[in-house]
Structure 1
Amino acid sequence: MDNKELPSSTKMWTKLFGKRIIIPSIFIFSYLIILLVPFNFDQQNDWFVLLGRFHPLVLHFPIVLILVTTGFLLMGFFNPNFNKPIIILSLLWTSVFFSFVSILAGYLLFISESYSGNLVSNHLNGAMATGISITLCLILYELNFQRKLKAGFLFYSLLILANFSLAYTSHMGGSLTHGEDFLTAPIDALLPAKKIDKAPEDMLLYEDMVATIFETKCVSCHNENKSKGDLLLNNYDEVFASGKSKKQAVIPGDTSKSEVMVRVLLPEDHDERMPPEGKPGLTDNEISLLSYWISRGASDTLTYGDIDNDEVLTEIEALMPDIQQAQYKIIKEKEAFEAALQELREIGDPMGVDISADDRSNGKFFGLKMRFPPAHIGNEEIKAFSPYFPYFSRISLASSNIDDDALFLLGKMPQLRRLILQKTNIKGEGLPYLKNLENLEELNLSFTPLDEGNLLHLIGFKNLQKVYLFGTPVKPEVISALQKHKPELEIILEEGPFY
């Protein structure tokens, strides 16, 4: 198209930088929209799911292309034959294009399927940093090639950033797909096997064996960070729940209707098989153990010593070395958790707060609550817990002296799911500090001097499910406006729980 036909703003941009800069600029604008404008869908969009599932097919292209581009530029310092602008430009253009396609497909997958939590957010943010930085590299190289700008230092700085963010994003993606111990597991396997002293006849079928199978084969896709099909398998109570399919994962005494058994027995190429194609499935011995446990009522008290089936005993015996190795790792993690709990209690006791394991987090995170009568706890006291902020999932500061400045500190607790702030000095101007807490599901603001205008900040809270507003000065029409703009949020006009 001729320059005369272009809009005035596009003419100016074209005059300054040339037409070849327009496309990468559109890519950067698209990245910024994705970062700044949240999209949510109440129902799954099948087209987005289809397009999103191309993400694992195309993501390797930008990885290889960015690394090859970097390699050519580095070798160009030593051999001029590699320093050919036409080659570098071609590599940069293809890197930028496939980065955009991969990020767009990944984002469609993110908003159309059940992905949540820090791992997926960090993976998305890392991808954005990679896409933006490599696209800026292309723009700078084009301008340098056209002799409109000399940007050597800035170009190489952005290229280094692109490679670092690429490595980080790849690591987050690997952790999402294969579990957070994706890199450390092979190292553990190389070390001499460590066993626990627990006698086999005292081992619990669920806690010591079945849970280990779930942990090694299923939990990488069914955890707090990535709950495929809205199903969690890292907690005993959760294995009896129904996921998105509305079918109960485990039905005690009935293996034929337990969805877990149905899925693991499907052919390897079946779309609904669990684990999916490309991931290690359950062995015959593991399937036999899982089937036997369900048929015997899926109890959490059933022990190895209770088994009266010789065939099952033989199969479990073959699994025992792996089970004991896994149990040793679990015990070491529990010991570290108990040590941290003791340190937190030493901090909290003088302040008059109780620290305990959050029973809703499968013993992985902590809860904090005020004692009665409430002690003088303010913003400064909360800072004492800052080294442990990433490990709190439940906080109750009811009747404390905190105000909105404390919300800045609470916003640094990425695992926080339940936050009780009733009878505090919260007016709401600090609520934006909490909007990036992707795990926050419940917020209690009862009996606070909440400013009704600040209540509308909750519209930006992605996964908030409940908010308690009893005894606040917020008018009913403001509550109605919030409900209209965020219909999935349950607004409860009751005082609510204290913990």
Structure 2
Amino acid sequence: MELYNLIIGSVAEDPSDILIFFGRIHPLVVHFPIGFLLLAALVELSLKKQHFQILKNYTHYLWGLGALSSLVAILFGYFLSLSGDYNENTVFLHKWSGIALFVFSAICYYASKKQVRLPFYGKKVLIAVIVLTVFYTGHLGGNLTHGATYLLEYAPNAIRSLAGMPKKAIPRKKVTVLDSADVYLDLVSPIMVNKCVSCHNNDKKKGALDLTTFEKLMQGGENGDVIVPGDVEASDFYRRITLSESHDDFMPAEGKRPLTENEIALIGWWIENNVPSKGYFTQMTPDDDIVGRAKAYLGLDVNLLFKEKVNPPKKKVIDSLSNQGFVLTKLMKDNYYLEANFSLSEKPISEASLETLIQLKEQLIWLNMSHSGIKDEHLEKIGQLHKLIKLNLSRNHITDQGLVQLSNLQNLESLNLYATKVSDSLLVVIPKFTKLNRLYLSSSNANSKIIEQLQKGNESLTIVFD
């Protein structure tokens, strides 16, 4: 009687913790009937072969285990449904297809154990129905867990049409320039989709909250609004994603990947700016920190060169440079970007060596020419290596006149001019390197005033200078 009151009372009111606890075992036990029933169907099919006839005396055990585990899964699934976090129509179909599976498998158990012959190929038809029901029930369970579009999200349009789904939406073009990023569609919505929507969708509304669209997000959940425009502290959504992962209210729950530091910062900034549903990100005057986080989230802080596929270099060019004193190293496993290092060579640098080096301009991204006798007249050749990301020219007799020859190296992220003669030309050349984040000027002719002016124009640039 107490158990009856526990269960029946929980239907009318909030379910007890113990029932939800047992309900959450459902995803574990539900795999047992799937395995047993599909194995039983496979064994039944194999009985057509004479040498498998020995299995006939054991098929009823598989059907019995399938029926029993189905019953257990139904019971735990019922407990889980009491939480009310799931789409009622889908739960209804999932529940009754599971019950049908139990009934069909119980009939197969009885027929196999008692060796009863069902009329009109009844058992074969029943086995086919069981297999189809297993897949259908599993499909509905997947919808409840991951959303109604989970199974067919990436299916060809022909299959989507057969299932009554619309054609796949044309995906948004990948953002390659921050100025083209839409604040909601390119920043906020992808965060929701990747980290939140699996638990907050039309079929699975944890806390009665649906995060699939901006409009549904702003409708809130069972406790009211989860986003308060302009007020981060009052927004329950932000509070939950910033809690300790061990906290009961932390989101995303159920062991799913938490939001990254950049994602949390972007969500917080979006809320502070009154949660716009559209509009260009850069038009909302984000500060440098948020701009940097947006670039990192969109992958714009990674040099686009790394996304290009380059052809392998010619062997005769590699051999020639090796003979002239260069050490060449492949930098990536799946691409042919190279580092060339001449700093260890005992041979003098020559115009011919640099001419040969230019033949690697599509593959060369790191170049170390430290203490190698480079002079101003050599920099015209090095300035043609347009893909260089890291360039070390330290301990060479380089002046302002030669530095200007490097102005076209727009991909530079690191430039080492330690112990060179460069000075005033830095103010003209360095601002042209928009991707530069590290500059070495110790023991050069640069002074503190030049360093101050360079830093003033680019706070994100790290300048190593003593």
* 2:217 counterpart residue number: 239
Matching of residue 96 in structure 1 with residue 96 in structure 2: no
Q: Which of 208, 214, 218 matches 1:230?
A: 208
Q: Which of 168, 177, 197 matches 1:219?
A: 197
SS at match of 2:92: helix
Matching of residue 176 in structure 1 with residue 154 in structure 2: no
Rounded Cα–Cα distance in structure 1 between residues aligned with 2:50 and 2:265: 61
* 1:119 counterpart residue number: 90
Matching of residue 308 in structure 1 with residue 286 in structure 2: yes
Structure 2 letter corresponding to 1:178: H
Displacement of 1:98 after TM fit? 0.6
* Distance change >3 Å, CA 152–CA 48, structure 1 → 2: farther
State the Cα deviation string for residues 356-379 of structure 1 (Å, max 9, x = none). Answer: xxxxxxxxxxxxxxxxxxxxxxxx
Q: Residue 49 of structure 1 contacts residue 113 of structure 1 at CA under 8 Å; is this kept in 2? A: no
Displacement of 1:64 after TM fit? 0.9
Q: Which of 98, 103, 109 matches 2:80?
A: 109
Rounded Cα–Cα distance in structure 1 between residues aligned with 2:294 and 2:33: 45
Matching of residue 284 in structure 1 with residue 252 in structure 2: no
Q: Residue 252 of structure 1 contacts residue 295 of structure 1 at CA under 8 Å; is this kept in 2? A: yes
Rounded Cα–Cα distance in structure 1 between residues aligned with 2:171 and 2:183: 22
Rounded Cα–Cα distance in structure 2 between residues aligned with 1:241 and 1:185: 25
Rounded Cα–Cα distance in structure 2 between residues aligned with 1:298 and 1:109: 34
Structure 1 letter corresponding to 2:41: T
Rounded Cα–Cα distance in structure 1 between residues aligned with 2:119 and 2:110: 10
Rounded Cα–Cα distance in structure 1 between residues aligned with 2:27 and 2:232: 33
Displacement of 1:43 after TM fit? 3.0
* 1:134 counterpart residue number: 105
Displacement of 1:198 after TM fit? 10
* Distance change >3 Å, CA 151–CA 258, structure 1 → 2: same
State the Cα deviation string for residues 450-483 of structure 1 (Å, max 9, x = none). Answer: xxxxxxxxxxxxxxxxxxxxxxxxxxxxxxxxxx
Rounded Cα–Cα distance in structure 1 between residues aligned with 2:46 and 2:14: 50
- Pairing 1:157-168 to 2, within 5 Å after superposition: 157-168=125-136
Q: Residue 241 of structure 1 contacts residue 248 of structure 1 at CA under 8 Å; is this kept in 2? A: yes
* Distance change >3 Å, CA 216–CA 187, structure 1 → 2: farther
Rounded Cα–Cα distance in structure 1 between residues aligned with 2:132 and 2:253: 30
- Pairing 1:137-156 to 2, within 5 Å after superposition: 137-144=108-115, 149=117, 153-156=121-124
Matching of residue 294 in structure 1 with residue 271 in structure 2: yes
Q: Residue 140 of structure 1 contacts residue 151 of structure 1 at CA under 8 Å; is this kept in 2? A: no
SS at match of 1:121: helix
Q: Residue 58 of structure 1 contacts residue 98 of structure 1 at CA under 8 Å; is this kept in 2? A: yes
Rounded Cα–Cα distance in structure 2 between residues aligned with 1:219 and 1:255: 21
- Pairing 1:18-29 to 2, within 5 Å after superposition: none
Q: Residue 65 of structure 1 contacts residue 95 of structure 1 at CA under 8 Å; is this kept in 2? A: yes
Rounded Cα–Cα distance in structure 1 between residues aligned with 2:149 and 2:258: 18
* Distance change >3 Å, CA 321–CA 156, structure 1 → 2: farther
Structure 1 letter corresponding to 2:191: I
Rounded Cα–Cα distance in structure 1 between residues aligned with 2:107 and 2:248: 39
Q: Residue 115 of structure 1 contacts residue 226 of structure 1 at CA under 8 Å; is this kept in 2? A: yes
Matching of residue 210 in structure 1 with residue 188 in structure 2: yes
* Distance change >3 Å, CA 228–CA 149, structure 1 → 2: same
SS at match of 1:275: coil
Q: Residue 69 of structure 1 contacts residue 92 of structure 1 at CA under 8 Å; is this kept in 2? A: yes
Q: Residue 48 of structure 1 contacts residue 112 of structure 1 at CA under 8 Å; is this kept in 2? A: no
Structure 1 letter corresponding to 2:20: V
* 2:239 counterpart residue number: 262
Displacement of 1:42 after TM fit? 4.1
Rounded Cα–Cα distance in structure 2 between residues aligned with 1:165 and 1:265: 42
Structure 1 letter corresponding to 2:17: D
Q: What percent of counterpart residues are identical?
A: 29
Displacement of 1:292 after TM fit? 1.4
Cα-Cα RMSD = 3.4
Larger radius of gyration: 2
SS at match of 1:131: helix
Q: Which has the higher helix share?
A: 1
Rounded Cα–Cα distance in structure 1 between residues aligned with 2:289 and 2:53: 65
Rounded Cα–Cα distance in structure 1 between residues aligned with 2:237 and 2:94: 28
Structure 1 letter corresponding to 2:91: V
TM-score scaled by length of structure 2: 0.52
TM-score scaled by length of structure 1: 0.49
- Pairing 1:395-410 to 2, within 5 Å after superposition: none
Displacement of 1:167 after TM fit? 0.8
How many residues matched?
279
Q: Residue 147 of structure 2 contacts residue 201 of structure 2 at CA under 8 Å; is this kept in 1? A: no
Gapped runs of 5+ residues in structure 2? 1-7, 157-169, 301-466
State the Cα deviation string for residues 416-452 of structure 1 (Å, max 9, x = none). Answer: xxxxxxxxxxxxxxxxxxxxxxxxxxxxxxxxxxxxx
SS at match of 1:112: coil
* Distance change >3 Å, CA 105–CA 315, structure 1 → 2: same
* Distance change >3 Å, CA 129–CA 150, structure 1 → 2: closer
Q: Which of 179, 189, 193 matches 1:201?
A: 179
Matching of residue 275 in structure 1 with residue 243 in structure 2: no
Displacement of 1:286 after TM fit? 2.1
Rounded Cα–Cα distance in structure 2 between residues aligned with 1:152 and 1:84: 24
State the Cα deviation string for residues 204-248 of structure 1 (Å, max 9, x = none). Answer: 42344312322333223223332211122234344345533x364
- Pairing 1:417-428 to 2, within 5 Å after superposition: none
Higher relative contact order (CA 8 A, sep 6+): 1
* Distance change >3 Å, CA 103–CA 269, structure 1 → 2: farther
